Amino acid sequence: MIYILDTADLAAIKHCNEFYPLAGVTTNPSIIAKAKTDFWKLVKDIRAIIGEDKMLHVQTTQTKAEKIVEEAKLLKKELGGEFYVKIPIGEEGLKATMELHKLGIGVTMTAIFTPTQALMAAKAGADFVAPYVNRLDNIIGDGTEVVAEIVNQLEIYGMDCKVLAASFKNAEQVHKCASVGCHSVTVTDDIMKLLISHPMTDAAIQGFDKDWQGVYGEKTILDF
Ligand code: E4P
C-alpha cells in the first residue's frame, strides 16, 4: 500500500511527512484554491517539504490536449523530482496522456467513477487512475466495489498502471480498499490519523505507564 496525503496544508504535510511512511502529496484545484495563496509558492513549498524523491501530483487547469501538455511540461520543469500531472478523464485528457506518456511525464488520470474509464486511461498510458470512493458511496455507488473491479481488470490485462483511490471520508473506506488490493490511497491528515487510532490502544498504553510508574516512578530504561 502506498499512502499519499491529499492536502495543500503545509503544516499537515510537514507533520505527516515526519511521522508517517508518506509516499507523496496530491492536490486538486479545489484543494489549492482553499489555501488562497500564490500557486507557485504553494506547490514549491510542498516540494521543498517532501523532497524530490516523493511524489507530487498537481492537477492541470487546462481543458484542451495541447494546453494540458504545455502545462504539464511547465509543472514538471518547475517542480522536478517525482512529478505526476493529474488530468480529468475525457477525450482531450486521453490525447494529452498519450503524448505525455511518450515524453516520459507521469500522469494520474483523475475524476474516475467507472472501471471502463480506468481501463481506457491505463491503455492511454496513465501511471495512476484515481477513482473517487466517497463520492461514489454518497450516491450508493459502492466506491470500494468500483476500486476492486478496477484493480482486477488492470491485473487481468497486465496494465502498467496503479489504482490511487481518492475521496475518502472515513477509515473503513480505506480499509475496504486495502482489502481488495488497491495499490495506493490518498487521504487527508485527519484520515491518516484515524488509520492508526484505537481507544483500546490508548487504554493499553495508559495501563503500561501506570504499572511501570507504580514501581519505578518517572525513571525510564535510559535511567537505569
Ligand atoms: C484526489 O485526487 C481527489 O481530487 C480528491 O481526493 C477528491 O476528494 P473529495 O471528494 O473529498 O473532494
Q: Whose CA is nearest to atom 9 of ligand 1?
A: 167
**Pairwise CA distance, residues 79 & 73, whole Å:** 10
- Three-state SS at 37: coil
Predicted TM-score (pTM) of the model is 0.96
> CB of 83 within 8 A of CB of 105?
yes
Provide the pLDDT confidence category of residue 44 given band limits of 50, 70 and 90: very high
Told to judge if 73 belongs to the known catalytic residues of this protein, a careful annotator would answer no
What pLDDT sits at residue 95?
98
What's the rounded mean pLDDT across residues 207-222? 98
**Pairwise CA distance, residues 87 & 97, whole Å:** 8
pLDDT in tens, 128-161: 999 999 999 999 999 999 999 999 999 999 999 9
List beta partners, residue 131.
112
Q: How many domains does the chain have?
A: 1
CATH for 151 = 3.20.20.70
> CB of 158 within 8 A of CB of 125?
no
Average pLDDT of every residue of the chain: 98
**Pairwise CA distance, residues 165 & 134, whole Å:** 10
Catalytic residue chosen out of the listed positions 76, 86, 162, 176: 86
pLDDT in tens, 189-200: 999 999 999 999
Domain extent for 103: 2-223
- Which atom of ligand 1 lies closest to the CA of 57? 2
Cα separations in angstroms, 145 against 39, 111, 141, 154, 173: 35, 16, 8, 14, 10
- Which atom of ligand 1 lies closest to the CA of 135? 10
What pLDDT sits at residue 129?
98
What's the rounded mean pLDDT across residues 54-66? 98
- Residue 190: how many other CB atoms lie within 10 Å: 13
Q: State the distance from the centre of ligand 1 to the C-alpha of 167, rounded, in angstroms.
A: 4
What's the rounded mean pLDDT across residues 113-126? 98
